[in-house]
């Protein structure tokens, strides 16, 4: 019975942690949960609205505006116990210094491909060069227990 207790403790800890990385990087694992919001004043001391902050972690507001943007999509190495999970990182080739956008799903449905072809295309996300696509970013609120989903809706695979 003593063997059972450490096993149960490990399982419980794994469930509490939520996500794991299957890489050996030293950065902390991402949780995929709903990010905490910072309280910001609605006006500064001069009475003017605060200037808009540049988006963090490569989530440019212009990208979400609707015009397709070119991204390189790679597997993030994150695996979660609850959906949605940021399993992909989408970076812009024209912005190599940005961290990239955490993406929970890559939607290839707009391409109208057979399931087998879609699976073959998604395999490229595991390669060192990644998958180069033209896509728009869509946020799906309350997509699962871990919060909102960030979906990359692919309009074209760039060769």
- What is the enclosing helix (H) or strand (E) of 121? helix 115-122
The predicted pLDDT at position 131 comes to: 95
| pLDDT value, residue 4 | 57
The answer on pLDDT for 83 being more than 80 is yes
Tell me the average pLDDT of the chain. Answer: 73
Higher pLDDT, 39 or 4: 4
Compute the residue count for the chain.
159
CA dist 62 to 28, 45, 66, 68, Å?
28, 29, 8, 10
Of 49 and 69, more confident: 69
Q: Is residue 28 over pLDDT 60?
A: no
Q: Which residues contact 145 (CB under 8 A, 6 or more apart)?
A: 82, 83
Is residue 24 predicted with pLDDT exceeding 70?
no
**Does residue 141 contact residue 28 with C-beta atoms inside 8 Å?**
no
**Measured between alpha carbons, how far apart are the two ends of the chain, in Å?**
57
pLDDT score, position 135? 95
106: burial class by Cβ within 10 Å (0-12, 13-18, 19+)? buried
Instruction: Indicate the pLDDT class of residue 67, thresholds 50, 70 and 90.
Output: confident
């Amino acid at each position: 019975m003593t063997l059972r207790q450490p096993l149960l403790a490990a399982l419980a800890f794994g469930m509490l942690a939520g996500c794991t990385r299957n890489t050996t990087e030293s950065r902390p694992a991402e949780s995929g949960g709903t990010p905490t919001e910072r309280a910001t004043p609605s006006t500064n001391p001069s009475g003017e609205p605060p200037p808009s902050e540049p988006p963090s972690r490569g989530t440019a507001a212009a990208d979400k505006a609707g015009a397709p943007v070119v991204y390189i999509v790679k597997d993030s190495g994150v695996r979660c116990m609850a959906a949605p999970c940021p399993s992909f990182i989408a970076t812009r080739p024209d912005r190599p210094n940005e961290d990239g956008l955490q993406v929970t799903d890559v939607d290839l449905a707009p391409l109208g491909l057979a399931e087998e072809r879609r699976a073959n295309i998604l395999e490229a996300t595991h390669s060192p060069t990644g998958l180069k696509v033209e896509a728009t970013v869509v946020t799906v609120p309350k997509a699962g227990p871990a919060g909102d989903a960030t979906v990359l809706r692919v309009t074209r695979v760039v060769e």
